[in-house]
Chain A
Amino acid sequence: MKRSSTNSISRRAVLRGAGCTVALPWLESLARADAPPSSGFPKRFGVVFLGNGINEDHWSAEGQGGAMKLSKTLSPLEPLKQKINVIDGLYVKALTGQGIHPGQTGSLLSGAHITKGAVVHSGVSVDQMIANHIGDETPQSSIVLACEQPMTGYHETNFSMVYSSHISWQSPDSPVPVEVYPSFAWDSLFDNRGSLLNISILDRVKDRAQELTRRISSTDKSRLDEFLTSVREVERRVDRMRESKAAADDAAKAKNTAAAFMERPANGLPEDLRDHARLMCDIIAIAFQTDKTRVASLIISRDLSAMYYPFLDVKEGHHAASHNNASDGYERIARFHVSQFAYLASKLDGMKEGGGTVLDNTCLMFLSNMWIGRKHDNSRLPLVLAGGLGGAIETGRTLNYLNDGEDNRKMCSLYLSLMDRFGLKVEQFGDSRTRLERL
Chain B
Amino acid sequence: MRAEVLSCLLASATITGSAAVTPDLDHDFQQVVRPFIVKYCSGCHSGKSAAAQLDLKAYTDLNSVARDYPRWALVSQRLSAREMPPKPLPPPPANDAGRVIAWIQAVRAEQIRRFDGDPGVVPARRLSNAEYNYTIRDLTGYDMQITREFPLDPANPAGFDNSGESLTMSPALLNKYLQAAREIANHLVFLPDNIDFAPHPMLAESDRDKWAIQRIVNFYLRQPVKYADYFRAAWRYKYRAALGKPRATLAAIASEANVSPKYLETVWRVLNERGAIGPVLKLETMWRNLPGPASKQRQTLDAKCLEMQEFVMRIRAHTAMQFAAPKVKGLPPASQPLLNWKNREFASHRRESDPQALRNDTDPPPVLPEIPKYARLHQEAAPRWAALMARARAGDPDLVVPAAERKRYEAAFARFASVFPDRFYVSERGRYFPDDSEDPARLLSAGYHNVMGYFRDDTPLMELILDENGKREIDRLWNEFDYVASFTARTWTQFYFNQSGEVQGKGAESGTPRPRDHEITDSEVIVAMRDAYLAKAAADPANDPVAPRAIREHFDGINATLQALEKQRKEAEPKQLDALLRFAARAYRRPLTAAEREDLLSFYTTLRTRNQLSHEDAMRETVVSILMSPDFLYRMDLQSTSSPEPAAVRPVSMKSSAAFASRPLSGYELASRLSYFLWSSMPDDELMQRAAAGDLVKRDVLLAETRRMLEDPRVRGLAAEFSGNWLGFRQFENINTVDRERFPSFTNDLREAMFQEPVRFIEDAVSNNRSVLDLLYGNYTFVNPILARHYGIPGIEGGAEKWVRVDNANRYGRGGLLPMAVFMTQNSPGLRTSPVKRGNWVVTRLLGEVIPPPPPTVPELPADESKSELPVRDMLARHRENAMCAACHSRIDSFGLPFEGYGPVGNIRTKDLAGRPVDTVVIYPGGETLDGLAGLQTFIREHRQKQFVANISRKLLAYALNRSLQLSDEPLVERMEARAAANGYRFNSLIESIVTSPQFLTRRISDAQPEPESHLRRAKL
Contact = CB atoms under 8 A, between A and B. Distances in A.
Given A204-B625, A216-B636, A217-B1006, A152 B205 contact: yes
A98 B969 CA distance: 71
A209 B126 CA distance: 13
Interface string A212-248: 1001111110111011011101100100000000000
B453 A158 contact: no
A269 interface: yes
Given A28-B175, A215-B640, A320 B442 contact: no
B330 interface: no
Given A15-B183, A26-B179, A216-B636, A153 B450 contact: yes
A106 to B, nearest CB: 12
Interface stretch (A85-93, A172-180, A293-301): A172-180
B182 A304 contact: no
Nearest to A12: B179
A156 B125 contact: no
Contacts of B509: 304, 306, 317, 319-320
B654 to A, nearest CB: 18
A20 B439 CA distance: 33
A19 interface: yes
Contact of B174 (A14, A196, A230): A230
Contacts of B516: 271
Contacts of A12: 179, 183
B255 interface: no
A153 B204 contact: no
B450 A155 contact: yes
Interface string B202-229: 0111110110010000000000000000
A154 interface: yes
Contacts of A231: 174
B641 interface: yes
Given A175-B204, A217-B1006, A151 B452 contact: yes
B175 A174 contact: no
A158 B442 contact: yes
Interface in A166-223: 173-177, 193, 196-198, 200-202, 204-205, 208-209, 212, 215-220, 222-223
Contact of B510 (A27, A216, A306): A306
B186 A227 contact: no
B200 interface: yes
Contacts of A220: 123-124, 636-637, 1006
A28 B176 CA distance: 9
A201 B621 contact: yes
B738 to A, nearest CB: 22
B278 interface: no
B171 interface: yes
A269 B168 CA distance: 49
B639 A216 contact: yes
B175 A234 contact: yes
B132 to A, nearest CB: 15
Interface stretch (B382-390, B606-614, B837-845): B606-614
A121 to B, nearest CB: 11
A174 B448 CA distance: 22
Contacts of A269: 514
A152 B486 CA distance: 12
B869 interface: no
A132 interface: no
Contact of A201 (B178, B207, B490, B1009): B178
Interface in B492-521: 493-494, 497-498, 501, 506-507, 509-511, 513-514, 516
Nearest to A232: B171
Contacts of A226: 168-169
Contacts of A28: 175
Contacts of A26: 179
B638 interface: yes
A11 interface: yes
Given A205-B625, A215-B639, A220-B636, A304 B450 contact: yes
Contacts of A66: none
B746 to A, nearest CB: 22
B170 interface: yes
B121 interface: yes
A120 B203 contact: no
A273 to B, nearest CB: 10
A21 B740 CA distance: 45
Interface string B169-200: 11101110011001100100000000000001
A370 interface: no
A339 interface: no
A212 B630 contact: yes
A202 B603 CA distance: 12
Interface in A260-286: 269, 271
Contacts of B121: 219
A224 B630 contact: yes
Contact of B607 (A200, A208, A209, A271): A200
Interface string B147-184: 01100000000000000100011110111001100110
B377 A156 contact: yes
Given A152-B490, A218-B1006, A271-B514, A118 B442 contact: yes
A120 B206 contact: yes
A201 B624 contact: yes
Contacts of A328: none
Interface string A132-150: 0000000000000000011
A313 B519 CA distance: 26
B560 to A, nearest CB: 22
Interface string A9-25: 00110110001111010
A20 B203 contact: yes
Contacts of A209: 630
A306 B638 contact: no
A155 B431 CA distance: 9
Contact of B617 (A21, A201, A224): A21
Contact of A317 (B494, B506, B607): B506
Highest count of chain A CB atoms <10 Å: which of B146, B203, B448, B603: B203
A308 B513 contact: yes
A149 B625 contact: no
Given A219-B123, A234-B174, A319-B509, A212 B638 contact: yes
Contacts of B449: 153-156
B747 interface: no
Given A15-B182, A153-B453, A306 B497 contact: yes
A118 B204 contact: no
A131 interface: no
Contacts of B611: 193, 196-197, 200
Given A217-B639, A220-B124, A320 B510 contact: yes
Contacts of A161: 450-452
A24 B507 contact: no
B1007 interface: yes
Interface string B626-650: 0011110110111111000000000
Interface in B991-1021: 1004-1007, 1009
A316 interface: yes
Contacts of A234: 171, 174-175, 178
18 contacts: A11-B146, A21-B203, A22-B613, A22-B617, A118-B443, A153-B453, A154-B452, A177-B203, A177-B205, A197-B607, A205-B628, A209-B630, A217-B1006, A220-B124, A230-B170, A230-B173, A234-B175, A304-B509
The 5 closest A-B pairs by CB, nearest first: A117-B440, A217-B1006, A153-B452, A220-B124, A233-B171
Interface of B: 121, 123-126, 146, 148-149, 164, 168-171, 173-175, 178-179, 182-183, 186, 200-201, 203-207, 209-210, 213, 377, 428, 430-431, 439-443, 445, 448-453, 490-491, 493-494, 497-498, 501, 506-507, 509-511, 513-514, 516, 599, 603, 606-607, 611, 613, 617, 620-621, 624-625, 628-631, 633-634, 636-641, 1004-1007, 1009
Given A11-B146, A117-B442, A154-B448, 4 more contacts: A153-B449, A154-B450, A196-B611, A227-B126
